[in-house]
Structure 1
Amino acid sequence: MTLPILSNDMSDAEFDRIADKAAHAAGFLKAISHEGRLMILCHLVNGEKSVTELEDLLSARQAAVSQQLSRLRLEGLVVPRRDGKAIYYRLADDRPRKMLECVYELFCKDD
Structure 2
Amino acid sequence: METTTLDIAQMREAAGQATTMLRVLANEDRLLLLCQLTQGEACVSDLEGLLGIRQPTLSQQLSVLRNEGIVSTRREGKKIFYKLDEGRALNLLNTLYGLYCKTDKNSSS
Shorter-chain TM range is 0.7 to 0.9
> Given residue 93 of structure 1, which amino acid in structure 2 is its aligned partner?
E
Q: TM-score, normalised by structure 1?
A: 0.80
Whether 1:40 and 2:29 are equivalent positions in the alignment is no
Residues 78-107 of structure 1: CA deviation (Å, up to 9, x unaligned): 001122211100012132332122112222
Q: Which residues of 2 match residues 18-37 of structure 1 at below 5 A?
A: 18-37=11-30
How many residue pairs match? The answer is: 101
RMSD: 1.8
Q: Structure 1: how far apart are the matches of 2:10 and 2:69?
A: 20
> Taking every aligned residue pair, what percent have the same amino acid on both sides?
43
* Kept in 1: contact 2:21–2:89 (CA 8 A): no
| Structure 1 residue 64: Cα displacement | 0.4
Q: Give structure 1 stretches of 5+ with no counterpart.
A: 7-13
Q: Give structure 2 stretches of 5+ with no counterpart.
A: none
State the partner residue of 2:90: 97
State the partner residue of 1:10: none
| Structure 1 residue 45: Cα displacement | 0.5
State the partner residue of 2:63: 70
